[in-house]
Structure 1
Amino acid sequence: MTSAVAHPPRPFGELLRQWRERRRVSQLELSIQAEVSTRHLSFVETGRSTPSRNMVLQLAEQLDLPLRERNRLLLAAGYAPAYSENSLDAPQMSAVRDAVRQVLTGHEPYPAVVVDRRWHLLDANASLALFTDTVAPHLLKPPVNVLRASLHPEGMAPHIVNLGEWRAHLLSRLRRQVEISGDAELVALAAELADYPCDQPEPEVDLPGPGEIVVPLRFQYGDAVLTFFSTVATFGTPLDITLAELSIESFYPADAQTADALRARAGKP
């Protein structure tokens, strides 16, 4: 088991106030939700009172904090972390690995990837080569960042027909993730990706085109344009940080032409 927090914790009250303000919740609202007095909550934020372990967990629950940040709050308050952080290859994660591999294999001949909270590629099925064959080798050196490989001018970007639309969609997802997590590395990644060139308009809001119900990925594959939509799966009741931060993104054909091309590529009838 690895350490959940690698840096010295900041004062508990400061961290709590930071998260409360990030969530746009007043002291009064949080005190009602957590069933503590506003006066006591104010004292906790200013360091005049020390919260109990249960109170820390209750406040973190009401603020909907990621498990990693709940551990940080506990450490800042002087308590041991509550949630483990096991690497995906740890023995106790064998059932998770088997489940993930089953999902990836069962999704063939369509691409699917597994990423962590910072969009690092953890696993993928063989069909991902449809996308990665166009990516420069230096972008595929571990740790591979899926967003960087997608939007970099030497990555998938030159082959994405609707680059402006898809790029805006991905950056919007990343901004929401930054807002939820407050992760400094994701902030830096968002700034890096925003600087990548794009010669197409980038919509500020996802709006459907004629007949569209999802934001599509239109990918140039040889002489054909393949169209996909994607779904994201997460584990529903995680109590481990690694598991809570795991996402499986699966790409599906959005039309019969794409489905036929993918089956033909895989040698399936």
Structure 2
Amino acid sequence: MPAIDRAVLLEAISALTGSAVRPLAEGRGEHSPHEEELTITNFLPTVFSPSSSADPPSPCPASPALPEEAALSELSLWGASASMKELLVDMENFLDPLYDYDFRCGSGSSECSRGGEPYTRPWGWYRFALKVLDKYPDGNAWLGSYGWRSQSSPGEWPVSFHGTSIEGARGITGSHYKTDDGQCYGRGIYSTPNIDIAEGYTMFKEFRSKNGRTYEVIMQNRINPKKRVITGKEDYWLIPVPEGSSAEQEKQVVEASIRPYGILIKEV
């Protein structure tokens, strides 16, 4: 099975960020005030910053609903621009092909763990690895050791997935939601160790490539177990971001708590 072309990856990044993305090698536009460079360090803020302003979040939706069904208010992290961004990405410094992996050709039921949590490999997806080694001041232990393994490494963070879409519903990102049992969870970033749940957030939100095919895209993250809250809803994890936090405080909380390290793409 042939690898997914990098042109499709650029389209996937556009879907994740809600922006027009092109390689840095093509050069900067002469008259484009909204043009920015996408890097590893600003990737997460860019994904979670909506391309248009969102309504102020309410304490809880008025009527009970499962998270899959709820219209979640977006958490407007690091500000919001009313204009579509144009992003340039240095592919050589953004991607790490050594760690790419084609999960489309296999399947398996063998048990394994990451960060002390059960981990099911994302069978059916192709992973483009992000160049995250040595990008954080606390080192690389959060990634675990390299290679195919079933057990966790010391200091490793668990894996979570986050589905997103170009329409602006940034995956399992919300302000608050109320579940079918009436419990209201807090403000912050939601992700899940269950890729099937994350994939549910891309339904009807896939992107259609210029090659005529349709794809889904999901981020593969590591989540800090000391910062994560395991909610009462099975397989829903929350990184709390307190009300009233400044943009810089929000940025610090999230960067210390959840780190994307792969972009998963699947043809549908």
Larger Rg over CA atoms: 1
Higher fraction of helix:
1
Identify whether the pair has TM-score above 0.5, normalized to the shorter chain. no
Question: TM-score when scaled to structure 1?
Answer: 0.24
Structure scoring higher RCO (CA < 8 A, sep ≥ 6) equals: 2
Name the structure with the higher strand share: 2
Normalising to structure 2: TM-score of the pair? 0.24
